[in-house]
Each structure stands twice: as C-alpha cells, then as structure tokens.
C-alpha cells in the first residue's frame, strides 16, 4: 500500500467508468501523469454507452446494439492507446446499468487482482445519469468486499485504497453538489489528452465542447486556491474518505 507522495513503480492506480468515454474525459490526464511517473494504471469500463451516449450512431437506420458497441469499443481503445493505459470493457449494457451479485463479483475480482492504491470513479450522487452513480456505489462496495475476501483467503497486500470521485457532467453540476477538494495538474499531458478525446467526436461531439473548457477552469482554480502557479489545466476530484495522518498534507 502506497502512502501520500509522488507515484512510482509500486503505485497502482485504477479507474472505473460507467461508459466508454467517462474515464478519458474525467480522469484521462491524471491516469497519463501517473503512468508517465512510472505507476501501474488500469481502466475498467462497465459499458460502452451504446444506448444512452451514442445518439449520432443511432441516426443510421442500419445501426444495431452490437454495431454501436463495436464503434464505442474502437473509439475507447484508440484513446487508451494514445494515452498508453491498459483498458478493459465489461460489456454490462447501459441505461439502465444493473448490478447483481454476479456482476458485483466482477468488480471484486478485478480489485483483488490489481490491488490498487488509488481508485478513481464517479461522483456518488448523479440521478441525472444513474449509470454513473451505480458504478460509484458498486466500486465502493466492491473495494470493501475485496478486502474481506482477501482476509478469508489469507491473501496479503490488499489494503484500504484511497478513493477519489471525479466530476459529474458539466451541465448537471449545479444540482449535484459536486465540490472538488483535490486538483491534479495535467498541463504536461494536456495535448495528449485532447488527442485522445478526439477519438470520441463521432459519437459524443458535445463533450468536446464542454470538457476542454472545464479543464481550463479547473486550472484557474488550482492556481488560485491550490498554490500551483504553473498549472494551466487540471482535473478535479473529491476525496471519498477523509484524510488521516500524523501531519497535514
């Protein structure tokens, strides 16, 4: 288990998103910075967003669920390749995303296997996009269950991962109560993140208009309140657990 401080080869960062694009827009820069610092990074997508987040594709009268899934998979895989991260698609179907005991076990198994020190996932109150909230709740629960299962199996090395919740949709934030308390400077990897985001333009062009502006805004906030004068672009998170330590950080 890695404590606070710069990441290194022993650091394990895991990102859980509900749909194919969520991880990249909300945490792609952070994942890339950790990867470049030597950390191990893994992304897990619950669904492809084939129903609720692929409207342009459904304008094709010949579109099917499977054909749209294939497009979304290809987009997200290209984005992951650009950023250099390892990505997995659980293909659980979206809108609604339903998590039963068997599907919960998928999350437990992946957390036990990867043993993350840091987990990034969705804000935990998002009735405007319930799939996002479902993944957030599932990840928190699975993290606890993974520790229990590890104890029963006499495994070592699964500690209490620090969980950070990334931003909900930009347009819905005023009603969702998201207030960040953690900013990650992604200025050094901003151009690469934008290149990755372009992979999603065919299916979610509106996101390409909103999220780059959000990165700039979070950069302004990081400079103003975070003491980061060189930060031009940032990603924002909210701690799930309070910090406890011998000193302030």
pLDDT for 86-100, tens place per residue?
999 999 999 999 999
pLDDT tops 50 at residue 2: no
153, pLDDT greater than 80: no
Distance CA 102, CA 104 (A): 5
Q: What DSSP character marks residue 117? A: S
The answer to whether 13 touches 31, Cβ cutoff 8 Å, is yes
Mean per-residue pLDDT over the chain, rounded:
93
| More confidently predicted of 229 and 2 | 229
What confidence score (pLDDT) does residue 151 get? 65
pLDDT at 244: 86
Please say whether the beta carbons of 219 and 199 come within 8 A: no
Neighbours of 119 (CB within 10 A): 22
pLDDT of residue 152: 66
Domain range annotation of the chain: 12-239
pLDDT-based confidence at 1, cuts 50/70/90? very low
Which CATH architecture is the domain 12-239 placed in?
3-Layer(aba) Sandwich (3.40)
Tens-place pLDDT, residues 154-177: 676 577 899 999 999 877 788 899
Distance of CA 45 to the CA centre of its chain: 9
């Amino acid at each position: 288990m890695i404590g606070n401080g710069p990441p290194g080869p022993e650091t394990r960062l895991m990102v859980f998103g509900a749909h194919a694009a969520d991880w990249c827009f909300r945490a792609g820069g952070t994942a890339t910075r950790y990867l470049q610092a030597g950390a191990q990074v893994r992304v897990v997508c619950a669904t492809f967003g084939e129903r609720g987040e692929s409207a342009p594709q459904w304008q094709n009268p010949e579109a099917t669920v499977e054909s749209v899934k294939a497009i979304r998979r290809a987009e997200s895989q290209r984005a992951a390749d650009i950023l250099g991260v390892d990505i997995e698609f659980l293909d659980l179907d979206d809108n609604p995303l339903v998590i039963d005991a068997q599907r919960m076990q998928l999350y437990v198994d992946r957390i036990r296997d990867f043993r993350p020190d840091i987990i990034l996932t969705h804000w935990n109150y998002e009735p405007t996009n319930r799939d996002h909230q479902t993944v957030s709740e599932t990840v928190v629960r699975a993290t606890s269950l993974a520790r229990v299962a590890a104890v029963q199996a006499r495994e070592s090395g699964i500690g209490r991962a620090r969980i950070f919740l990334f931003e909900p949709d930009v347009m819905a934030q005023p009603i969702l109560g998201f207030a960040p308390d953690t900013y990650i400077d992604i200025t050094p990897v901003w151009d690469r993140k934008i290149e990755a985001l372009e992979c999603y333009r065919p299916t979610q062009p509106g996101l390409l208009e909103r999220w780059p502006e959000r990165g700039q805004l979070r950069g302004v906030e990081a400079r103003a309140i975070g003491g980061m004068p060189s930060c031009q672009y940032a990603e924002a998170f909210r701690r799930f657990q309070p910090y406890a330590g011998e000193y302030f950080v």
